[in-house]
Homo-oligomer: A and B are copies of this chain.
Amino acid sequence: MREEEIIEFIKRRMVPQQTTVIAGPGDDTAVVSYNRKEYMLLTTDCVVEDIHFTRKEASLYQIAKKAVAVNLSDIAAMGGIPLYALVSAGLPETFTRREIIQLINGLKYMADKFHFDIVGGNLTRSEKLFIDISLTGKVEKQSLKKRSGAKPGDLIFVTGRLGGNRIKKHLSFTPRIKEARKIIKEYSVTAMMDISDGLSTDLTRLAKASNVGFKIYLDKIPLSQDAIKIGGNKGKAIQHALNDGEDYELLFTVSKHNRKKAPKSINGLLLSCIGEIVKEKKYTGISIDNKKTAIQAKGFSHF
């Protein structure tokens, strides 16, 4: 059973019964009633030793920070801010006092930096280290952006530079909480999500959720130094930017009526227009010499 297939099965099986559930399984985070002006956001994400990191490549402080950051990125993707975190950790028997303190310090650093509280958690033994975090956030009702709102003619944007993140960026990326909120405030954003599993996979998800297609200009994809370094040439670097995963940048669409004031950067963070949403449910990449290829979701699969 492939990951997308499991998620489809879960979506069909887990239809929410309470009217207070605004968005259930399927988006970056769940959306539920909160108060008159705001929705509550609920998300969870887990990092597992030897799946998402190795003990050799990263310190426990970095691993703890990453475990928080992947969750913050999901809250950012909905335009929200974080409030409360629960931390559930599986610790190997050999874990020392010093190692536990390193983990806790990494978690606390992120809580202080992003102004949320770690309000509880759970500890268990586990052969492999894992840190599973669930994060509660909130978003003003008018700011909520889902991945399903893209319309034909909308422009497609990404923040930052993509690809090659397996080298090191995946351990030290900055969740785009502030930038997402500024983008939503200043532009007519129609859909938003974070790029966690690779542009090709996540843009395809956005298109499917919105019931549309897309065309992207491959030479407009902003390449990271690492994508260029790993790829060796531009063509291969583009493939890395399309498929590597773990960028944790924002992917969003902007109404075509916003076309003239299309943003170039926000808070010093590069914004790149890479294409547009089309009505026909085709996913097309256009090369610099105008060759068309079908974009396939080749990003990171969790299975």
Residues of B within 8 A of A116 (CB): 18
Residue A270 at the B interface, CB < 8 A? no
Q: Is the CB of B111 within 8 A of A14?
A: yes
Q: Is the CB of B124 within 8 A of A29?
A: no
Residues from 97 to 129 in A contacting B, C-beta threshold 8 Å:
97, 100-101, 104-105, 107-108, 111-112, 115-128
Residues of B within 8 A of A217 (CB): none
Q: Is the CB of A83 within 8 A of B18?
A: yes
Residue A235 at the B interface, CB < 8 A? no
Q: Is the CB of B21 within 8 A of A84?
A: yes
Residue A211 at the B interface, CB < 8 A? no
Closest to A23 in B: B119
Q: Is the CB of B86 within 8 A of A121?
A: no
Given contacts A9-B101, A132-B88, contact A117 B46 (CB under 8 A): no
Q: How many chain A residues have a CB neighbour from B under 8 Å?
A: 68
Q: Is the CB of A25 within 8 A of B118?
A: yes
Other-chain residue from B32, B48, B88, B111 in contact with A45 (beta carbon distance below 8 A): B88
Q: Is the CB of B104 within 8 A of A9?
A: yes
Q: How far is the CB of A63 from chain B (nearest CB, A)?
A: 14
Residues of B within 8 A of A118 (CB): 14, 24-25
Residue A6 at the B interface, CB < 8 A? yes
Q: Is the CB of A117 within 8 A of B43?
A: no
Residues of B within 8 A of A87 (CB): 44
Given contacts A30-B84, A124-B48, contact A16 B104 (CB under 8 A): no
Residue A3 at the B interface, CB < 8 A? yes
| Complex Cα spacing A46 to B89, Å | 9
| Complex Cα spacing A105 to B37, Å | 35
Residue A134 at the B interface, CB < 8 A? yes
Q: Is the CB of B46 within 8 A of A132?
A: yes
Contact with B along A1-14 (1 / 0, CB 8 A): 10100110110011
| Complex Cα spacing A155 to B94, Å | 41
Residue A72 at the B interface, CB < 8 A? no
Q: Is the CB of B86 within 8 A of A51?
A: no
Contact with B along A123-150 (1 / 0, CB 8 A): 1111110101010100000000000000
With contacts A1-B97, A42-B120 known, what are 14 further pairs, Cβ within 8 A? A1-B96, A1-B100, A14-B117, A20-B83, A30-B120, A42-B86, A42-B136, A44-B122, A46-B124, A48-B126, A50-B127, A88-B132, A90-B130, A127-B128
Residues of A whose CB lies within 8 Å of any CB of B are: 1, 3, 6-7, 9-10, 13-14, 16-18, 20-21, 23-27, 29-30, 32, 35, 42-46, 48, 50-52, 83-84, 86-88, 90-91, 96-97, 100-101, 104-105, 107-108, 111-112, 115-128, 130, 132, 134, 136, 302-303
Contacts A/B (CB < 8 Å), 21 sampled: A6-B123, A9-B104, A10-B121, A18-B117, A20-B83, A24-B117, A24-B118, A24-B119, A30-B120, A32-B83, A32-B84, A44-B86, A44-B120, A44-B121, A46-B124, A48-B90, A48-B124, A48-B125, A50-B127, A126-B128, A134-B134
